[in-house]
Amino acid sequence: MFRRNPAITSLLLLAATFGLYLWSKPSTAAPAPAPTVPPVAAPAYGSCAPSADGIGRTWMGREIAQVMGHPGIGWLERDNREKEEAPSKAIALLELAPDAVIADIGAGSGYYSFRIAPKIPQGRVVAVDIQPEMLDFLKKESARLGMANVQPHLGAIDGVKLPPATLDAALMVDAYHEFDHPVEMLASLRSALKPKGRIYVLEYREEDTKVPIKPHHKMSEAQARKEFEAAGFRFVVNKPGLPWQHLLIFENP
Ligand SMILES: C[S@@+](CC[C@H](N)C(=O)[O-])C[C@H]1O[C@@H](n2cnc3c(N)ncnc32)[C@H](O)[C@@H]1O
């Protein structure tokens, strides 16, 4: 019979244990790299010390203005607005087809929405705002005036939340300068507009010192063009003739 040498037996046992340890040890090799997803370009918003009417965030050289809260409804609905801003003239300059679907973005109390709606009897106004109190006001006004073609719609600070290619046009009256995510808002609007859809931007003229509005709530034509063209829109025209505002028209290419 083969006689077992105790020293060899111990050595064999030791080798087997070490082999088992190596086999069961978790690998320390670096894991395979995860597939890379190209990053979405984040808009390079800047910052500044917040001024009295601003939010301390900058875009393309301007400080974004504070949002006008719903207690400002009285000012939006003031009796002398027609005399000061000539909204009926602005609406006539839009030249909307009777079946147009237009989003009034930053609609507020719906001052413009309810004046546009009768001009587009086969169309509708989607009145978009981010303040639920504004939408409550809009709903009550819709019922009071019996206007079924004004549709209140809750948007978000970074998007209009409307389906793609459903709008013929969009209107922003005294609102764009308050959007705290202008890049995301314009990107979402480009998607919601049909090809060749138009954006009508009404902003108080920064170039005109006689316009009695706080500086953060005004915008120059050059600034608006810089921002809308960077978002991919084509500048069409700045229609003259309003007492206080620019009427800038851009097109979805
Ligand atoms: C100064 S008010 C103008 C209201 C209306 N366009 C008018 O001229 O009577 C601006 C409105 O824009 C809204 N607003 C601000 N940021 C917005 C956003 N990202 N999307 C939609 N509405 C927004 C505010 O809630 C406010 O009601």
- State residue 43's pLDDT score: 76
* Residue 27, C-beta contacts closer than 8 angstroms, at least 6 positions apart: none
Spell out which residues line ligand 1, taking CB within 6 angstroms.
Answer: 67-68, 76, 105-108, 111-112, 128-131, 134, 155, 157, 173-175, 178-179, 185
CA distance 77 to 65: 21
The alpha carbon of 67 and the centre of ligand 1 are apart by a number of angstroms equal to: 7
Nearest residue (by CA) to ligand 1, atom 4, is 108
- State residue 42's pLDDT score: 66
Site to substitute for ligand 1 among 130, 183, 216, most atoms within 8 A of C-beta: 130
The alpha carbon of 105 and the centre of ligand 1 are apart by a number of angstroms equal to: 7
- State residue 41's pLDDT score: 59
Q: What does pLDDT average to in each consecutive run of 10 residues of the chain (253 residues)?
A: 46 40 36 37 86 96 97 97 98 97 98 98 98 98 96 98 98 98 97 98 98 97 98 98 98 97
Counting DSSP H helices and E strands in the chain, the numbers are: 8, 11
Atom of ligand 1 nearest to the CA of 70: 27
Q: How far is CA 70 from CA 74, 91, 92, 161, in A?
A: 9, 23, 27, 21
Nearest residue (by CA) to ligand 1, atom 13, is 106
Site to substitute for ligand 1 among 55, 64, 67, most atoms within 8 A of C-beta: 67
- State residue 19's pLDDT score: 38
SS3 of residue 154 by DSSP: strand
Residue range 68-251, CATH number = 3.40.50.150
The predicted model scores a pTM of 0.85
- State residue 26's pLDDT score: 33
- State residue 8's pLDDT score: 47
CA distance 182 to 204: 17
CA distance 238 to 225: 10
Virtual torsion, Cα 190, 193, 195, 201, nearest 10 deg: -80
- State residue 3's pLDDT score: 46
The alpha carbon of 158 and the centre of ligand 1 are apart by a number of angstroms equal to: 13
Of 31, 67, 20, 75, the C-alpha closest to 217 is 67
